[in-house]
Amino acid sequence: MLEDLRAACRRDPALYGSRALEAVLYPGLWAVWAHRLAHRLHLRGVPFAPRLISQLTRALTGVEIHPGARLGRRLFIDHGAGVVIGETAVVGDDVTLYHHVTLGGRGFRADGKGAARHPVLGDRVTVGVGASVLGRVYVGDDASIGAHALVLTDVPAGARVSAPPSTVTSVTTATAAAAASNVRPLPITRR
């Protein structure tokens, strides 16, 4: 637990000096700590309690981690909201996940019951805001998955994956049209 706390302090630029104590308020940190307890109970075959801990943690933090998921050391979940980590996911050491990340399956029919159906992340992987890594794909050590990327195939070690950037597809107001064409809009007079 102390390693997780230190990881949060090292990786979050907002935590410095006396503010480092604020890390204990981070929902991602609480979710990781609760998962470590739930996972131990899950491995011992304790019924119901691991899933209860997982669901209560989801309600309190917005982070859902299945008790069966295997998390490495010093995992940092920044902001936490909307993070989902599936049952057979494996997360390496020193991984950083941003909010709204999904490490999930591709669906019951695609994955099969009881199959290893969630991603495996190597060490020092970063997964950006809103990214989804789906299916039993392998993300190599030191890889970076960019914001809103959809990863469905293996990612080699050290690779960077990015989603296409957004583009303006249509303009519906005079102000937006002028901004898009770099022309000053006509002043609007009110009567």
Domain holding 29: CATH number?
2.160.10.10
> Does 71 reside within a domain?
yes
Helices (H), the chain: 2-11, 27-43, 49-61, 108-111, 174-181
> Does 186 reside within a domain?
no
> Does 121 reside within a domain?
yes
> Does 187 reside within a domain?
no
Domain holding 29, by residue range, is 2-181
Query: What does pTM read for this prediction?
Result: 0.84
Closest Cα to residue 145, out of 187, 190, 97?
A: 97
Per-residue pLDDT, 18: 74
Number of domains in the chain: 1
Per-residue pLDDT, 183: 54
User: Could you read off the pLDDT of 41-64 as tens digits, one per residue?
Assistant: 999 999 999 999 999 999 999 999
pLDDT along the chain (191 residues), means of 10: 85 78 87 97 97 98 98 95 97 98 85 84 98 98 97 98 83 68 61 56
